[in-house]
Structure 1
Amino acid sequence: MVESVGPPIPAFANRGRFLIRLEEVTLRYGEGPEVLRRVSCHLEPGSFHYLLGASGAGKSSLLKLLYLAQVPSEGRLSLFGRDVAQLTRRDRALLRRRIGVVFQDFRLIAHLSAFENVALPLRIAGEPEARVKSQVRELMDWVGLEDAIDALPPTLSGGQQQRVAIARAVIGRPSLLLADEPTGNVDDRIAVRLLYLFRELNRTGTTVMLATHNESLAARMPQPQLRLASGLVSTEPAPTPAAAEPVGE
């Protein structure tokens, strides 16, 4: 079992329950081979875990299960205390609103500006326009995109698009944040800054799972780890702080 990190997060009414629970979960696509094999792990609300493994190890497939894009071929998956096999279509839609996802291919809306892409979750939630504008501008400044607010995604570099995707995923302070290689297209300075952003979001109560194959970057901010290899998962505690490099702002 993966243990929680730090003290309980008061913002969660269900902090005594697992937010993510996988029991003997296997995933295959169609008649293909097993991508994940008998995966079992439990994550508590308010925790932060790296999902580590080489390219092709199954990290993206595990994340797809967790944001309800796939269902297990075998085994049981529970999110927010709900068995996903028992969810109605409406239940799935409601759960997805509590999950922020940073996709590896960004999935930005090409005809909307960077600002409008980031603002989209707040608009869907019905936030007042003044609040939308202030929060989006503040977050875009934080990720270094203050000069690209009005730019359309096709005119941005890969690293800029990635930062827009991250801002969109975290703007609504989701209960669960799933990030698939979120630092893969940015330089080291921006990558560390993004890790700091994820840590601060986690400190406010968001459960974070960050998939990466960059173990040296993960070592800068030690957290417990889930390691995937050949479709199997193992759990490891956070490295000792003495072995980690400091994270700056």
Structure 2
Amino acid sequence: MIQFEDVAVRYGRMADVLSDVTFRLEPGSFHYVSGPSGAGKSSLLKLMYLAMPPTRGRISLFGRDVESLDRNERALLRRMVGVVFQEFRLLNHLTVFENVALPMKISGERPSRRQAHVKELLEWVGLGSHLHAAPLTLSGGQQQRVAIARAVITRPKLLIADEPTGNMDDRMAVRLMYLFEELNRIGTTVVIATHNDRLIERFAHPVIHLNEGRLSILEPGEQVLA
């Protein structure tokens, strides 16, 4: 599914943000990404969803060597990936419904199917009464839920989420974790960057821990060594 071999990332003349990172995530797995600020978490996620190339090393996604892809192949691969960004990235000229339906529209789903699935998912995330609202009229937590719904509406092969519950109360955060786990049960590989230790403890999965550009994978309950 995802394989990194001796991957490093460097910005300009600075020291490596990620250094000699090697790991493999199997299809259908569920991992958290943790680590202190500046450890390289955002860079790792960007590499996973093909937003940037590594400075050196090799990355493969869904069995394809990323470096060998042309523009069209890269675009097709990205359609298999759902991404939840910290800054939401909603389209403000579209309604909530239209934002969430957009991935299904791009993939060619018929309107009746889009209508049913989008309404059902927005009900699940507590926004069933906001179908026709403009994103800028919503709170930060509501916008985050719209972004999550948009990312998962097509049941992607890979879901990458950067602090997806950071703007939510505990009740909604738990509800959304159940949604991520349900997606995982039907085959989606899930990678979530989070600082919420309570969620990591309640929904136990392995943790990709980054510190000073180095990576280690911890099993549930395993502590980070000093």
Establish whether TM, by shorter chain, passes 0.5.
Answer: yes
| Large movers: runs of 4+ above 4 Å | none
Identical-residue share of aligned pairs (%): 61
**TM-score normalized by the length of structure 1:** 0.87
Aligned length: 222
What whole-Å deviation, never above 9, does each CA across 1:21-64 have from its counterpart, x for those lacking one? 00111011233321111111101000000111123221111010
Q: Does 1:100 align with 2:82?
A: yes
Counterpart residue number, 2:125 = 143
Counterpart pick for 1:232 among 192, 210, 214: 214
Counterpart residue number, 1:200 = 182
What whole-Å deviation, never above 9, does each CA across 1:180-211 have from its counterpart, x for those lacking one? 00000000100001110000000000000011
**TM-score normalized by the length of structure 2:** 0.96
Counterpart residue number, 1:131 = 113
The 3-state SS of whatever aligns with 2:129 is: coil
User: Unaligned stretches of 5+ in structure 2?
Assistant: none
The 3-state SS of whatever aligns with 1:161 is: helix
**C-alpha separation in 1, matches of 2:198 and 2:38:** 19
User: Unaligned stretches of 5+ in structure 1?
Assistant: 1-18, 241-249
How well do the aligned residues superpose, as a CA RMSD in angstroms? Answer: 1.0
What whole-Å deviation, never above 9, does each CA across 1:94-149 have from its counterpart, x for those lacking one? 10000000011010001100110000000001111111000000000000011111
**C-alpha separation in 1, matches of 2:195 and 2:16:** 21
Counterpart residue number, 2:154 = 172
The 3-state SS of whatever aligns with 1:147 is: helix
Letter in 1 for 2:69: L
Higher helix fraction (1 or 2): 2
Q: Does 1:91 align with 2:73?
A: yes
Task: Please say if residues 52 and 215 of structure 1, whose CA atoms lie closer than 8 Å, have aligned partners that are also in contact.
Answer: no
**C-alpha separation in 2, matches of 1:56 and 1:148:** 36
Counterpart residue number, 1:185 = 167
The 3-state SS of whatever aligns with 1:178 is: strand
Q: Does 1:65 align with 2:47?
A: yes
Counterpart residue number, 1:121 = 103
